[in-house]
Structure 1
Amino acid sequence: MPIRFASSALAMALLAAGALADASAQTQLAPPQARITDEVIAADLDAYQALQERLRALNAAGRPLRDYGMAKAQCWLDVSFHEYTRNDRSAFPQAALAESEKLVVLMEQGAHPLPTETPLVNDARYLRDDLWQRLRALQAGPAAACAAQAVACGEVELVHAGNEFNQQQWRHAKPYIQMAEDLVNEAEAAGRQCAVAPATAEGVAATAPLDPLVANVLFDFDRHAYGDIRTYSLESLDRALARIQAEGLSVRAVEVIGHADRMDGRGHDYNEALSARRAETVRAVLVGRGIDNALISYAYRGDREPVQRCEGVKPRAALLECLLPNRRVEVRFVVARPDR
């Protein structure tokens, strides 16, 4: 959500003057050790407010909120402010604020196209390669404009999660990973809603392929039974099924792919078999939820395709929790619109 403060003299002065900062300008927050007085904190809040007002001015001038640059600048601003108010004493609040301001400056100057790279500021850990790949596919796909807002914020939340991972490991990164997952799903849903291409030369409407719906069902360490599934990951599966119904899609096929983490004390073959048993468990779950068994294919990959690496994470309990996304069954619903 956008940050809302009382109007500040600094923000009003910026807007009244119509000042455009040059590309090297950067709002500076007070050093962490100086954030101990009301006056210093108030000045920092004024700085946040001033940048928020510049975004509001861009929107008032006609730049839509769903625009990639607007959305990304807002999300960088929001995560910076979130961590500032949580008393994050690292370089992250300043670095995220700087990324927001860079985009604001470029938009104020009418730059086109805007950059799409997403730096891992403050040396944030690169987490969840699968989510990054889905976001890149959306950004390069035919429905990029429709998905732009959720893509932009999904990228920022993955960086936010990586920063939290560095500071307090996986337990503190998880809420932001969940936010990123939700944003990726929202982006893919938005992309499906505008997946119809313009008419061809023959006058026949061409339909772009619909992105599959993806859900990951997660298992406890060295477990594969239904009772070993993390409950919230089953909820993500049910949300995917509900979205299929809400969007009026038909399921053409379901791909179920089992995985294991790298903790293979019993050997490579054991992890291969464990991932197969997990895939079979999820196949049974899908049949129980009304999916035709004939539509389901399943495969198993053992520990060959991790989406999260947890180098240096200790103790063992923290490492096992960090590796949880690798103990997954990926469910891909291949969907189409019934009338196409």
Structure 2
Amino acid sequence: MTDTKTSLLCAAVVATLAFSAGAQQTQLVPPDARITDEAIHADLSGYEHTQGRIKALNDAGRPVRDYHLSKAQCWLDVSFHEYSRNDRSAFPQEALTESEKLIVGMEQGVSPLPTDTPLVNNAARVREDLWKRLGAIHGTPGFECAQQAVACGEVELVHAGNEFNQQQWRHAKPYIQIAEDWVSDAEALSRQCAAAVLPADAVLTANVLFEFDRSGRDDIRAYSLQSLDRELDRLRTEGLTLTGVELVGHADRLQGRGHDYNQALSERRARTVHALLIERGIDAGKVSYSFKGDTEQVQSCDGVKPQAALRECLIPNRRVEVRLKVAR
């Protein structure tokens, strides 16, 4: 090992072990020096120490479901996940640092703690619709029960945005799906919260996604249809009464923004989903729909190439939003 690499490793070990009042930042070994068992061991020791600090906060009485404890854990998890995948970017370090910032604040009794979610490593802000749904839960009575799901959903969206920047949509998609699950769970937990009074305009949301330039039943992505069915199942499991359904059809931008073709395509998609809902026992009289064409894009995919990758990236825009209005 060269003198330079020895110095880098020693510095990392010192940073890992020499915490002063919980304020010392863990520094991972720089990627170009991460080539020995000793270097890897130093980093793993840092992760283990950080995990121990989270456990100590829980042992001291901060519940696992707490927003800030959950967020610290999720930042730590995505950092370690990418470190284990040999991510050589700044993401593992910056995500780990966000975890530690929250840990230090909790250890020092800072109040209020921040609720912002930095786009570390200049991560793309993907799926604005999911960010808005999570943001809508903050400050509501149901947030008490949904804290963990909200926190982890926000972190997972940053994780997805980082993957999008590095390797585009194909690598971001699995993490987007994880974020979608967190968002659905957060909304369900918020509704179920014993302290929450279900508002008159409570809504369950699902997006039914279509293949490029298609609008038939066989053109629906299976996992998105499963998402719709999960939301319909919640009506029964949560004892909710369906008061109305709003369908909003959309298209991506590839036929030209504002083009009449996309308006008609979004209408056909909405009518397809309308028929599926009727088959699933939904009263046709409760369903209304509108068509937005390509005017409301939730995923920009700027700079994505080639064409096949761009079409796949834009799939969140080829959607029918299903808004199930419910009451207890």
TM-score bucket of the superposed structures, by smaller chain: over 0.9
What code does the residue aligned with 1:84 have?
Y
Q: Decide whether aligned partners of structure 1 residues 320 and 143 sit closer, same or farther in structure 2, where only a CA change above 3 A counts.
A: same
CA contact (8 A) 1:150 1:183 kept: yes
Tell me the distance in 2 between the aligned counterparts of 1:330 and 1:265: 21
- Equivalent residues in 2 for 1:301-320 (5 A)? 301-320=292-311
After TM superposition, the score normalised by the length of structure 2 is: 0.92
Checking the alignment, whether the CA contact within 8 Å between 1:258 and 1:299 is kept in structure 2 is yes
- AA partner of residue 93 (structure 1): P
Q: Is the 8 A contact 2:257 2:294 kept in 1?
A: no
Q: Which amino acid is the alignment partner of residue 327 of structure 1?
A: R
Where does residue 333 of structure 1 map in the other structure?
A: 324
The structural deviation recorded for 1:166 is 0.7
Residue 142 of structure 1: how far off its partner (Å): 2.5
Question: CA offset at residue 84 of structure 1?
Answer: 0.3
Q: Distance in 1 between matches of 2:73 and 2:106?
A: 13
Residue 36 (structure 2) aligns with: 37
**1:118 paired residue number:** 117
Q: Which residue of structure 2 aligns with residue 248 of structure 1?
A: 239
What amino acid is the match of 1:107? M
**Which of 235, 244, 261 matches 2:252?**
261
Letter of the 1:103 counterpart = L
Report the number of matched residues.
315
Query: Secondary structure, in 3 states, of the residue corresponding to 2:29?
Result: coil
Q: Runs of 4+ in structure 1 displaced over 3 angstroms? A: 206-211
Equivalent position SS for 1:277: helix
Task: Assess if the C-alpha contact under 8 Å between 2:258 and 2:295 holds in 1.
Answer: no
C-alpha distance in structure 1 between counterparts of 2:80 and 2:154, whole Å? 17
Deviation readout 1:204-260 (Å, 9 max, x if unpaired): xx6534631111000011111111111111111111111221111111111110000
Q: Matched residues in 2 for 1:207 and 1:60: separation? A: 33
CA offsets per residue over residues 95-151 of structure 1, 9 Å max, x none?
A: 000000000000000011110000100010110000000010011323222111100
Deviations 1:272-327 (A, max 9, x none): 11101100000001111111111111011001111111111111111111100000
The verdict on how the C-alpha distance between 1:301 and 1:82 changes in structure 2, with shifts beyond 3 A counting, is: same
Deviates more, 1:289-298 or 1:241-250: 241-250
Match of 1:189 in 2: 188
Q: Does 1:71 align with 2:70?
A: yes
Please say which of residues 184-193 and 134-143 is displaced more in the overlay. Answer: 134-143
Q: Secondary structure in 1 aligned to 2:138?
A: helix
1:190 and 1:293 map into 2 onto residues whose CA distance is 29
In the alignment, structure 1 residue 291 sits paired with structure 2 residue 290: no
Task: Give the whole-Å Cα distance in 2 for the aligned partners of 1:325 and 1:306.
Answer: 8
* Match in the other structure for 1:156: 155
Alignment check: 8 A CA contact 2:258 2:293 kept: no
Alpha-carbon distance change, 253 to 53 in structure 1, aligned in 2, over 3 angstroms:
same
Q: Which amino acid aligns with 2:294?
A: D
Unaligned runs of 5+ in 2: 1-12
- The corresponding residue for 2:7 is none
Secondary structure of residue in 2 paired with 1:140: coil
Distance 1:211 1:191 in 2: 11
Instruction: Indicate conservation of the 8 Å contact 2:157/2:175, yes or no.
Output: yes
The amino acid across from 2:303 in the alignment is G
**3-state DSSP class of the match of 1:298?**
strand
Percent sequence identity over matched residues?
66
With over 3 angstroms needed to count, the CA separation of the structure-2 counterparts of 1:280 and 1:59, relative to structure 1, is same
What residue is the counterpart of 2:131 in the other structure? Answer: 132
Q: Quote the residue 2:146 is aligned against.
A: 147
Residue 195 of structure 1 deviates from its aligned partner by 6.4
Give 1:8-47 correspondences, 5 Å limit.
20-22=21-23, 25-47=24-46
Offset at residue 21 of structure 1 (A): 2.4
AA aligned opposite 1:127: V
Q: Is the 8 A contact 2:270 2:289 kept in 1?
A: yes
CA distance in 1 between partners of 2:258 and 2:86 (Å): 44
Specify the code of the residue in structure 1 equivalent to 2:289: Y
Structure 1 unaligned spans of 5+ = 1-8, 198-205
TM-score, normalised to structure 1, is 0.89
2:256 and 2:111 map into 1 onto residues whose CA distance is 53
